[in-house]
Structures are given as C-alpha cells and as structure tokens.
Amino acid sequence: MQYEIKGSPFPVAICTLNNGESLITERGSMSWMSDAMEMKTVGGSVGKALGRMFSGESLFQNKYTAHKDGAFIAFASSFPGEIRALDIRPGADIIVQKSGFLASEESVELSIAYKKKLGASMFGGEGFIMQKLSGSGTAFVELDGSVCEYNLAAGETMYLDTGYLAMMDSTVTMDIEMVKGAKNILLGGEGLFNTKVVGPGRVWIQTMPIPTLASSLLPYIPTKS
C-alpha cells in the first residue's frame, strides 16, 4: 500500500492498493474510491465488536479490498485538524483518544484501553475508555487542530489541560491532579484538574479539542428569541 495525506485544515488520506490488499475502517469513513475496490461489512468476535462500541465506534467495521493494482480509496477528516499515519509494530502499542481511529491495514488490531485509575477516568477529560492500536502495519488517526509531539524520558512529567491529550505510547502513564491553591482554582480560569502524563514514551498533544472549539463558538451562535 502507498498513501499520501493532502489538504488543510480538512485533510484526506488517499491510499493506493495492490490487488488483494485490504483496509479496515469505521462505518462512514470512506469519502471516495475507485471501482476496483469492494466493500464488505465485518464484525469479528462479539467481544471486539462490543469493545468498539464502548470506545465510541460502531459495532461493525467495513473492509475494502482492491481487485486490481492501483485501486484507490480516500478517507477524509470529519473536523479541522490533522490525519497522522502511524507505524504500528508488535510490542509498541499506541493509545489514541476515543473516536480517533480512521482506517488501517488488516494486520492492525483496534481494541479498547481502559483507564486503570478512576480519577483519570472521571476528571481527566479524555474519558474512561480510549482506543488501543496494536499488531503490525499502518494506521490512520484524525486529531483535533495541529499536533505537537514530545518524547518523554523515564519519569519525565508533563501537565496538560483536559482534552488536549491526543494519543500516547502505551508505556506512558496518565493520571489527573487537582490544581493547587484556592486562588488558582477560583481565579485562574484553568479548571479544577490537569492531566498528568509520565514517561517513558511519546505523547501527542492536540491544539484544539472539539469540545474547546465548540465552547469558543457558542457565544457567537444566535439563540431563538
């Protein structure tokens, strides 16, 4: 498979496949394709299907298979941001924000990643369940706004406003901490909690989470009188 990612701020991943190659995607992700691509809806095991449902995806996935060399298919982003192509390798899983998965080669497995700590689940802004990409191959994810990447050393710590964590290596741990100081909480305007990530591993931070964008636009939306 070959691919290119084009466009901004609404990017699209255009993948060109050889005969017999397949891509797995979530329902509704395909934007356009050549007539040499065939779609088949697949569900896999009940456990995996339910896992996708709880991670914000549909129970079923679509499998697109090329029936000649040079067949192509495109997956467009659903909001302003970036599409990233990830090189997934055995033993190097990547944890992605809920609903971040766009498409992947068949050899990549999409599953759910539960937060181990209740505090991170309830107050961290990323939700109780994230998505885990494992196996081997190329996967495409869509992220909100622009993306900054950091490679944390063992024990190195960063603090993020809630919702800004886009994805991380599975070796990175995540928790939440309350903002210190009553004055900071009442007057700082940064909320009660920050997301804490600790290395080793890579962390990808998005600059405009969709809830933040929606909150910014809300005052400008006229209301009915």
With a pLDDT cut of 70, the percent of the chain lying above it is: 78
pLDDT attached to residue 72? 97
Q: Output the pLDDT for position 51.
A: 55
Query: Does any domain span residue 225?
Result: no
pLDDT of residue 49: 53
So what's the pLDDT on residue 189?
44
**Domain presence at residue 55:** yes
Q: What is the number of domains present in the chain?
A: 1
pLDDT tens digits along 124-171: 444 557 889 999 999 999 999 999 999 999 999 999 988 899 999 999
What's residue 183's pLDDT?
A: 45
Question: Could you tell me the pTM of the whole model?
Answer: 0.82
Q: Is 81 left (phi over 0), alpha (psi -120 to 50) or beta?
A: left
pLDDT tens-digit map of 8-20:
889 999 999 999 9
Q: Which domain holds residue 159?
A: 2-217
Report if residue 95 sits inside a domain.
yes
What pLDDT, on a 0 to 100 scale, did the predictor assign at position 215?
72
Residue 47 has pLDDT above 70, yes or no: no
* 155 located within any domain: yes
User: Cα separation of 41 and 89, whole Å?
Assistant: 26
Kindly report the backbone phi and psi dihedral angles of residue 80, in degrees, each rounded to the nearest multiple of 5, phi listed first: -65, 130
Q: Is position 202 within any domain?
A: yes
In a domain, 75, yes or no: yes
Res. 118: pLDDT tops 60: no
Report if residue 222 sits inside a domain.
Answer: no
What is the mean predicted confidence (pLDDT) over 44-51? 51
Residue 112 has pLDDT above 90, yes or no: no
Report the distance separating Cα 83 and Cα 91, nearest Å.
23
Does a structural domain hold residue 69?
yes
* pLDDT value at 175 more than 70: yes
Q: What is the pLDDT of residue 128?
A: 57
> What does the pLDDT average to over 110-133?
65
State the DSSP string of 41-107: EE---HHHHHHHHHTTS-S-EEEEEESSTTEEEEEE-SSSEEEEEEEEBTTB-EEE-TT-EEEEETT
| pLDDT, mean of residues 1-6 | 96
Q: What is the CATH number of the domain that holds 105?
A: 3.60.160.10
For 48-106, write each residue's pLDDT tens digit: 555 555 545 556 789 999 999 999 999 999 889 999 999 999 999 999 988 889 999 99
Residue 25, classified by CB atoms within 10 Å of its CB into exposed (0-12), middle (13-18) or buried (19+), is buried
